[in-house]
A = this chain, B = another copy of it.
Amino acid sequence: MAGNAPTDRPLKPELTGRRPAPTIRDVARVAEVSIGTVSKALNEHGRLRTETRQKILRVARELGYRPNDMAQSLHRAKSMTVGILSTDSFGRFTYPIFQALEERLADQGIAVFMCNATDDPVRERQHVEQLLGKRVDGIVVTARRSDRRPPVDVGISGLPVIYVFSQTDDPDAFCLLPDDEGGARLATEHLIRLGRRRIAHISGPERFGAVRLRRLGYRKALEAAGLVAADDYFISTRWSERAGYEAALHLLELPLPRPDAIFCGNDQLARGVLDALRERGVAVPADIAIVGFDNWDVMVEATRPRLTSVDMNLRALGHEAGDKLLAMIAGQHLVGTHHLPATLVVRESCGA
């Protein structure tokens, strides 16, 4: 460490215009101690008289000195940053995850780079290169889930990568997902407990893993109760209110006993179904009970009656991702796909 080196830089802030941030050197000069002594005082290591330490801390505060994270990171080989790579242009699902994750990491002094790749592999590659250049300590990948995505290539860096609300084929990857199957099972079991026996299921396009898993949960719940769903009671359509509206009308016109409940693959479908039933004079929940999926406040509170819906607990997913990423950065080795439990939020549409 160098000694008490005076500098020519002014100490008084020039209130107009920018000036360089004060350095450890400035603190040392004003406190009339060596840089090594300042370092000891700020990092709370080494032996130092209490008065000296307090004087240094006071001077540092008065000058507005902040330890340079970047210089520290070069020293520690940790940048205290992580990158989030998102391909969800919509943001509705990944934003709550991101918020909870950021909350967890900020508590540990880790800052989060947010990168949007929106399904453009070239842009994603640029972002990964940039994050590697910034020496991030880890990468979180989130996606608007249609299906498995190719793994993110971090080269030989061995950098921890977590896939949240997204999945990849790499068997060594660590993926955190909501429990689509379990959530659907919860919803269907709830309807069965309320005495419903002819439960239909309207969901999104079958290319979505979530659609297949939710259907599986629905089927398992029916089978466990000794019920069999007519094939025509399952409709795969687009993820929109209009599609839900049309699917409901279709169900009402089938040459089958009318369903006494409809479990919908998302809240928008459920809302379309509710609109169709109201127009046809079908009472909800008396004639047909409705349950949605996502528990999206904008939808569930606006429907009449208000919508019972499965909540994927996206914030819990974000917190878990933060905890697991911290563990991986600390050296823990995690692999495999893990599902976080969903919950059912009961309102009036199911007749509970």
List chain A positions with a Cβ less than 8 A from chain B.
Answer: 13, 15, 17-21, 64, 66-71, 73-74, 77, 79, 81, 83-84, 89, 91-92, 95-96, 98-99, 102-103, 106, 109, 111-116, 118, 123, 126-127, 129-135, 155-159, 240-242, 268, 271-272, 298, 301-302
Chain B positions within 8 Å of A302 at CB level = 240-242, 268, 271-272
Cβ of A66 and Cβ of B133 under 8 Å apart?
yes
Chain B positions within 8 Å of A130 at CB level = 106, 109, 111
The one of B68, B77, B134, B158 in contact with A133, judged by C-beta atoms closer than 8 angstroms, is B68
Cβ of B129 and Cβ of A115 under 8 Å apart?
no
Q: What are 19 A-B interface contacts by the 8 Å CB criterion?
A: A18-B157, A19-B156, A20-B77, A21-B132, A64-B155, A66-B129, A66-B132, A68-B133, A68-B135, A70-B73, A70-B74, A70-B79, A91-B95, A91-B99, A98-B114, A99-B116, A112-B115, A242-B302, A271-B302
Task: Across the interface, name the chain B residue whose C-beta is closest to A95.
Answer: B91
Chain B positions within 8 Å of A102 at CB level = 114-116
Task: Across the interface, name the chain B residue whose C-beta is closest to A67.
Answer: B133
Per CB-CB distance, the 4 closest pairs between chain A and chain B, nearest first, are: A18-B158, A13-B156, A114-B114, A241-B302
* Given A111-B131, A134-B70; A15-B156 close (CB under 8 Å): yes
Task: Across the interface, name the chain B residue whose C-beta is closest to A77.
Answer: B20
The one of B103, B268, B298 in contact with A268, judged by C-beta atoms closer than 8 angstroms, is B298
* A274 CB → nearest B CB, Å: 11
Cβ of A74 and Cβ of B71 under 8 Å apart?
yes
* A108 CB → nearest B CB, Å: 11
Cβ of A127 and Cβ of B98 under 8 Å apart?
no
List 6 additional A-B contacts (Cβ < 8 Å) besides A15-B156, A69-B134, A89-B99. Answer: A19-B156, A21-B135, A81-B134, A109-B130, A114-B114, A241-B302
Cβ of B157 and Cβ of A134 under 8 Å apart?
no
Cβ of A135 and Cβ of B69 under 8 Å apart?
yes
Cβ of B17 and Cβ of A158 under 8 Å apart?
yes
Task: Across the interface, name the chain B residue whose C-beta is closest to A131.
Answer: B111
Cβ of A133 and Cβ of B69 under 8 Å apart?
yes
Chain B positions within 8 Å of A18 at CB level = 157-159
Chain B positions within 8 Å of A134 at CB level = 69-70, 81, 111
Cβ of B113 and Cβ of A112 under 8 Å apart?
yes
Chain B positions within 8 Å of A98 at CB level = 114
Chain B positions within 8 Å of A89 at CB level = 99
* A151 CB → nearest B CB, Å: 15
